[in-house]
Chains A and B, each alone.
Chain A
Amino acid sequence: MEYFIQQLINGLTLGAIYGLIAIGYTMVYGIIRMINFAHGEIYMLGAFISLIAFLVATTLGGASVAFGLLIALVSTMILTALWGWAVERLAYRPLRNAPKLAPLISAIGMSIVLQNFSQLSQGARVKPLPPLFKGGIELMHGNGFSVNLSYLQMVIMALTVVLMAVFTWVITRTSLGRAQRATEQDMKMAALLGVNTDRIISATFIMGATLAAVAGLMVTLYYGVIDFYIGFLAGIKAFTAAVLGGIGSLPGAMLGGLLIGLIEAFWSGYFSIEYKDVAVFAILVLVLLFRPTGLLGRPEVEKI
């Protein structure tokens, strides 16, 4: 029982991070029906930017750890958002009216470019960060096993909940969110009504990148090491989360992320850690066999 709860906690932490990344995939897909394969790399950049910002702030700027983290958070959100915006401007917008395959290939190209860029500018070796959040609380104890909730896990979950709440509010309550939903449902009609749809698409990339940036910071803190390649697997898993939840659906992306995190944690905890990724993708295949639109997705109605 104690072991189970511990895996639950670990899984939820991981799932929160996947969920944050998955939102970027699902939003972009919703609005331009395209899988942004470079999104995993945006998350990787977010991790690097937060690490660099933290080190600069604490070593050069002499900031305290807490203040350094705040600076890392804010700068990675802003700078990664800029990257997300630039990727759309440079690699996708010129292909807006091209056949569907063209932006997809452009996305794969962009993903390779960003990976190589980080590798060249930051080096290929892993970048370590000493653990900053030490300790935690012991939730329960029994059978010679104690259940721990670390402070870092608490921060990750709390920050995720806050971000999701703000994000949901923007989408459902603000005029920007309304314009995004309208653009998603019928882009031409939104433009007919005076919505600058290019700007809405930019805003969507910016929002997705901002959330991925926070995920990048969390991962840097959680694992303590990052390299230029982390975007690949995390990207694929977050994409899987988005598909599992129903691509295009925001609650779906959050749910899918949590499920992927939980599957991964439980599989590693009870079966074999080597096969955790296989388990994730096997479950994806199973779900899609029975619910092709994902858990919360709705069937795509072909528009004329």
Chain B
Amino acid sequence: MLAVENLHSGYGRIQALHGIDLEVKQGEIVTLIGANGAGKTTLLMTICGAPRASKGRVLLDGQDITQMPMHKIAHLGLAHSPEGRRIFARMSVLENLQMGGVAGDPAHYAEDLAKVLALFPRLQERLNQRGGTLSGGEQQMLAIGRALMSRPRVLLLDEPSLGLAPLVVRHIFDLIRQINRDQGMTVFLVEQNAHHALKLAHRGYVLVNGRVTLAGTGAELLANPEIRAHYLEGGAHGETA
């Protein structure tokens, strides 16, 4: 469904990705774990067209989208809940969700809105509140809800657990599992919370300094001693790969 081949990308003269190959198949939850600065966000953003890949390709259903304008990529069914949530702070919750529907079919806007609000009842209560005044957890829900509004075929999530209380994290991960199971949505999940992410995902990749160093099923990676040491609790705390 989503494939990345020999992808190079960066910011000006700074190279952040040095030839990434990975694939997310239809209906899968795939996670990408890696330390701060490994290039996870850069990879997700390069898939969406900003920054542009300097080399390599991004394929969506076999179609090369590497040089496609950003807004067209969204209309092909790729939705992104980005790092930092990027809620439109001076727009209401409802307007934020409406913006999420831009790439969707207007014919099932009402249905999608109802679905998202059923998934996040908290948003329903705050429909007219300004995005910027939501709590961090609510903003995260809004970012995910906004991404779901277009009925994407592939959902990219960049650290949805960042800064959230453990209970809320559990809730968000349950929701991801639920969306994947009930709607068959393909999910590509970037996480530092490796334990939760690997338990949830069918497969995972490990990113170190802009290169994929390990790949395997969630269970395999969870059992891998190297991963346990670097990314999981009980390993060397605070150490980065």
Q: Do A and B bind each other?
A: yes
A interface residues (Cβ-Cβ under 8 A, vs B): 175, 178-179, 181-182, 185-186, 188-197, 304
CB contacts (< 8 Å) of B75 on chain A: these are: 194
Q: How far is the CA of A137 from the CA of B88 in the complex (A)?
A: 49
Q: In the assembly, what is the distance between CA of A188 and CA of B84, in Å?
A: 13
- Contact A193 B91, beta carbon cutoff 8 Å: no
Give the Cβ gap from A94 to chain B, nearest Cβ, in Å. 16
State the CA gap A193–B50 with chains docked (Å): 13
Q: Is the CB of A193 within 8 A of B146?
A: yes
Contact, CB under 8 Å: B50 / A182: no
A181–B48 CB distance below 8 A = no
Contacts of A186 in B (CB 8 A): 86, 88
Provide the residues of chain B in CB contact with A195, threshold 8 Å: 71, 99, 102
Considering the complex, give the chain A residue whose CB is closest to the CB of B106: A175
The minimal Cβ–Cβ distance linking A188 to chain B, given in whole angstroms, is: 6
| Cβ-defined contact, A192 with B82, below 8 A | yes
Judging by beta carbons under 8 Å apart, are A193 and B82 in contact? no
Whether B70 and A191, one on each chain, are in contact in the complex, defined by CB atoms closer than 8 angstroms, is yes
Q: How far is the CA of A192 from the CA of B88 in the complex (A)?
A: 13
> What distance in Å separates the Cβ of A304 from its nearest Cβ neighbour in chain B?
8
Given contacts A191-B69, A194-B71, 9 further A-B contacts (CB under 8 A): A179-B99, A185-B88, A186-B86, A188-B86, A189-B86, A192-B70, A193-B79, A193-B102, A194-B150
Does B80 count as interface, using CB distance less than 8 angstroms? yes
Question: B34: which A residues are within 8 A, CB to CB?
Answer: none
Q: Are A181 and B71 in contact (CB-based, < 8 A)?
A: no
Cβ B103 vs Cβ A193 within 8 A: yes
A292–B13 Cα distance when bound, in Å, is 36
B contacts with A, residue count (CB < 8 A): 25
- Whether A192 contacts B74 in the complex (CB less than 8 A), given A182-B91, A185-B88, A186-B88, comes out as yes
What residues of chain B lie closer than 8 Å to A196, measured between beta carbons?
A: 69, 71
> Most chain-A CB neighbours within 10 Å: which of B48, B88, B90?
B88
A-B contact count (CB 8 A): 61
Are A191 and B50 in contact, CB atoms less than 8 angstroms apart? yes
Q: Scan B47-86; emit 1 where CB is below 8 A from any A CB, else 0.
A: 0111000000000000000000111001100011010101
Residue numbers in A under 8 Å from B48 (CB-CB): 192
Give CA–CA (A183, B182) in the complex, Å. 33
Q: Is B89 an interface residue (CB 8 A)?
A: yes
User: Chain A nearest CB: distance from B70 CB in Å?
Assistant: 4
Within 8 A of A (CB), among B150-171: 150
The reply to whether A175 and B80 contact each other, CB–CB distance below 8 Å, is no
Given A182-B88, A182-B91, A193-B74, residue A188 in contact with residue B98 (CB < 8 A): no
- The answer to whether the Cβ of B95 comes within 8 Å of any Cβ in the partner chain is yes
User: Which residues of the partner chain B approach A185 to less than 8 Å between Cβ atoms?
Assistant: 88-91
Q: Could you list 30 examples of A-B contacts with CB < 8 Å?
A: A178-B91, A179-B99, A181-B90, A181-B91, A182-B88, A182-B99, A185-B88, A185-B89, A186-B86, A188-B70, A188-B86, A189-B82, A189-B86, A189-B88, A190-B99, A191-B49, A191-B71, A192-B70, A192-B74, A193-B99, A193-B102, A193-B103, A193-B146, A193-B150, A194-B74, A194-B150, A195-B102, A196-B69, A196-B71, A304-B84
Q: Smallest CB-CB separation from A189: which chain B residue? A: B86
* Residues in B neighbouring A197, C-beta threshold 8 A: 71
Please tell me if B145 contacts chain A, counting CB pairs below 8 Å: no
For B84, give the chain A residue with the smallest CB separation: A304
> B100 within 8 Å of A by Cβ?
yes
Give the distance to chain B from A172, nearest Cβ to Cβ, in Å: 10
Alpha-carbon gap, A191 to B90, bound state (A): 17
Q: How far is the CB of B49 from chain A (nearest CB, A)?
A: 8
Interface centre among A181, A186, A189 (most CB of B within 10 A): A189
Q: Which residue in chain A gives the minimum CB-CB distance to B102?
A: A194
Q: Which residue of A lies closest to B95 (CB)?
A: A178
- A175 and B94 CA atoms in complex are apart in Å by 12
Which residues of chain A have C-beta atoms less than 8 A from B86's C-beta? Answer: 186, 188-189, 192
Contact partners of B103 in chain A: CB under 8 A: 193-194
A178: which of B74, B79, B89, B98 is its contact (CB, 8 Å)?
A: B98
Q: How far is the CB of A97 from chain B (nearest CB, A)?
A: 11
Closest CB-CB distance, B101 to chain A, in whole Å? 9
Cross-chain contact B50 with A178 (CB below 8 angstroms): no
**B residues in contact with A194, CB < 8 Å:** 71, 74-75, 102-103, 150
Q: How far is the CA of A123 from the CA of B191 in the complex (A)?
A: 66
Tell me which residues across on chain A come within 8 A of B74, comparing CB atoms.
Answer: 191-194
* Closest chain B CB from A70 CB (angstroms): 35
On whether A175 and B82 interact (CB within 8 A), knowing A182-B88, A191-B70, A193-B74, the answer reads no
- In the bound complex, residues from chain B placing their C-beta under 8 Å from that of A189 are 82, 86, 88
